[in-house]
Structure 1
């Protein structure tokens, strides 16, 4: 009886482990080497003072304008524009300050696979491009 329970636990563990590995693989586009993508475009550097008990100068780096992203093999995989808008904040920190809010229009972005063929724009790849910290100019 103990051997049967132990065997059942091992089988359940293996099934869930294999299923999780398969799901993880499908989260990212298998065409791209995400760790080695290079982005080129303009970075806006904006400083503001966040007033609190101890005021702090904060540097904000934001992608703005047209950006192009390349694979390690120098194949263009994405291109589109980041829109930056300066917004004033009045209700945090004790004094007003301005920060850049970055947005994108997904309809204006283009993506390509590792062979240079156009692929449909999808939320997963857009989220990666927006959230990644590329510092190439």
Structure 2
């Protein structure tokens, strides 16, 4: 009985450790290019705290290996004022997107509709990804 359990566990371990098929994966280096503004605001509390942040402005493009553009579009900037937190009002800028103003392409240069992975890429604050799997995106 112990041998059967041991053999079963050994088989489970063997099959669970096999590598999966990665032929469909498309790993690429990805770079975001555009202009950001670095600024700060003071948050009033018991002790004033300077909060530094950045936001994207104007048109940005996202490029993968070999200068292939996969996304391009503008960021929308909004001034937000908070007057009900802390001891004094403060304002800061945010960036957002209107997805209908963006264009997306696959790795062959064909226009494609945006999917969730591409939306996540353009809303991320990262500007450089060493490797990213775009197999289900492009």
Q: Which has the higher strand share?
A: 2
For the pair 1:113 / 2:103, whether they are aligned, the reply is no
Q: TM-score, normalised by structure 2?
A: 0.73
Deviation sequence 1:64-95 (CA, Å, 0-9, x none): 22111111311111111111101001222322
Q: How many residues align?
A: 127
Larger relative contact order, structure 1 or 2 (CA cutoff 8 Å, min sep 6) = 2
Structure 1 residues 11-30: aligned runs within 5 Å: 11-12=11-12, 30=25
Return 5+ residue gaps in structure 1 as ranges.
none
Unaligned segments of structure 2, at least 5 residues: 129-138
In structure 2, how many angstroms separate the alpha carbons of the residues matched to 1:83 and 1:12?
Answer: 52
**TM-score if structure 1 supplies the norm length?**
0.74
Asked if the contact 1:32/1:113 (under 8 Å) is kept, the reply is no
Q: CA RMSD of the aligned region, Å?
A: 2.8
Relative distance call for 1:95 and 1:39 in structure 2 (3 A) is: same
Residue equivalent to 2:3: 3
For the pair 1:132 / 2:125, whether they are aligned, the reply is yes
Larger radius of gyration: 2
CA distance change for structure 1 residues 94 and 6 in 2, over 3 Å: closer, same or farther? farther
